[in-house]
């Protein structure tokens, strides 16, 4: 196990978002009308790495709702992501610990989606064992429900992790070929580039052979812990065909950084029951390369904290992999 290592910016403070007053007056009026009363308070969420509006809105009649919104002219990709998330949320199996969709809205070039609010907070880091175990238990239910997903959810046109891996996740091969610069590597990993390439190259085949769907972006800032200590899973834009153990590995990277026994937790989790023996190492290698390569830059529409988050995540994934491989 590693010594605890905290991300450079806490998950609850990574976002830089516009406030309620930054939305056009017509959009604010329409949102209030849809909510049934004037908005009297907007509490922005500090988690996440986009610059879209995201806040819990409280209305004059005591109602609450969670609303995300973006302007198409300024952030067309974010509008597409929000619309995709809305389509997915409307079709997820009932009964899962997922915020439910109420409605969507187009108004004056702005797109908004309204969700049931969850009275919760991001997990504390370093991970508390009870919160991590509650998150793993909740994800077991999610993974089981998505092993045989409903037909209308599949009909949305979900991507395949195998294709995403080949197109956007696997970067060690590019580094080895000289098409990408070598990111800073710790001593145990220096000289292991061929091993990293070999490991990550297995991900597309493993992902293509696995049934079901995977969240695609499972990490601490996409989890909320409610007052009862249960976990809720948010931000469903990247749902794709692929194995649940891929998400499990990504989630547990911060658990490794917290000094917890994540190897045992991965091995015991139902989502890893059918994983190939080296699935965890393959995923860690792939995610490390992805995050460390992407840390070199960030789009202007992203939080300025995104590169630091990616660098920390990649470093922790490499450290966990090196520990598992006994690289010294």
Task: Note the pLDDT tens digit of each residue in 192-250.
Answer: 999 999 999 999 999 999 999 999 999 999 999 999 999 999 999 999 999 999 999 99
**Residue 70 binned pLDDT confidence (cut-offs 50, 70, 90):** very high
Could you give phi then psi for residue 55, rounded to 5 degrees?
Answer: -155, 155
Residue 9: per-residue pLDDT: 80
The Cα–Cα gap between 163 and 140 comes to 25
**pLDDT of 58 over the 80 cut:** yes
Output b/e per residue, 73-90; b: 16+ Cβ within 10 A.
eebeebbebbbbbbbbbe
**Residue 302 binned pLDDT confidence (cut-offs 50, 70, 90):** confident
Residue 226, classed as helix, strand or coil, is: strand
Residue 266: per-residue pLDDT: 98
Residue 40: per-residue pLDDT: 98
Residue 4: per-residue pLDDT: 84
Q: From 236, 238, 248, 314, select the one nearest 8 (Cα to Cα).
A: 314
Residue 264: per-residue pLDDT: 98
127 CB-contact burial (10 Å; exposed 0-12 / middle 13-18 / buried 19+): buried
Check if the beta carbon of residue 193 is closer than 8 Å to that of residue 176: yes
The Cα–Cα gap between 272 and 268 comes to 7
CA angle, residues 14, 137, 122, in degrees to nearest 5: 15
Single pTM value for the model: 0.95
DSSP string, 157-188: T--BHHHHIIIII--HHHHHTTSSPPPP--TT
Q: From 6, 17, 78, select the one nearest 43 (Cα to Cα).
A: 17
Between strands 53-59 and 39-44, the pairing is antiparallel
DSSP 167: I
Bridge partner list, 262: none
The Cα–Cα gap between 153 and 93 comes to 9
DSSP 9: S
Sign of the CA dihedral running 255, 259, 264, 267: positive
């Amino acid at each position: 196990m590693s010594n605890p290592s905290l991300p450079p910016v806490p998950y609850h403070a990574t976002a830089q978002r516009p406030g309620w007053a930054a939305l056009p007056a017509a959009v604010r009026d329409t949102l209030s009308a849809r909510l049934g009363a004037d908005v009297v308070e907007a509490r922005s969420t500090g988690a996440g790495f986009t610059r879209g509006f995201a806040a819990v809105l409280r209305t004059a009649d005591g109602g609450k709702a969670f609303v995300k919104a973006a302007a198409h002219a300024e952030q067309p990709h974010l509008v597409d992501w929000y619309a995709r998330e809305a389509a997915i949320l409307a079709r997820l199996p009932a009964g899962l610990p997922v915020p439910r969709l109420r409605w969507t809205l187009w108004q004056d070039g702005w797109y908004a989606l309204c969700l049931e609010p969850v009275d919760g907070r991001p997990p504390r880091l370093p991970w508390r064992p009870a919160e991590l175990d509650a998150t793993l238990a909740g994800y077991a239910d999610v993974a089981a429900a998505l092993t045989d997903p409903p037909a209308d959810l599949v009909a949305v046109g979900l991507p395949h992790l195998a294709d995403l891996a080949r197109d956007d996740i696997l970067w060690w091969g590019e580094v080895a070929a000289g098409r990408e610069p070598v990111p800073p590597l710790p001593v145990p990993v220096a000289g292991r580039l061929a091993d990293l390439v070999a490991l990550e190259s297995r991900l597309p085949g493993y992902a293509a052979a696995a049934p079901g769907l995977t969240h695609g972006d499972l990490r601490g800032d996409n989890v909320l812990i409610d007052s009862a200590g249960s976990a809720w899973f948010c931000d469903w834009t990247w749902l794709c065909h692929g194995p649940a153990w891929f998400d499990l590995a990504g989630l547990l990277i911060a658990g490794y950084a917290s000094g917890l026994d994540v190897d045992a937790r991965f091995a015991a989790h139902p989502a890893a029951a059918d994983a190939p023996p080296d699935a965890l190492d393959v995923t860690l290698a792939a995610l490390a390369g992805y995050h460390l390569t992407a840390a070199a830059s960030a789009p202007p529409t992203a939080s300025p904290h995104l590169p630091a988050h990616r660098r920390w995540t990649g470093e922790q994934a490499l450290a966990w992999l090196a520990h598992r491989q006994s690289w010294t």
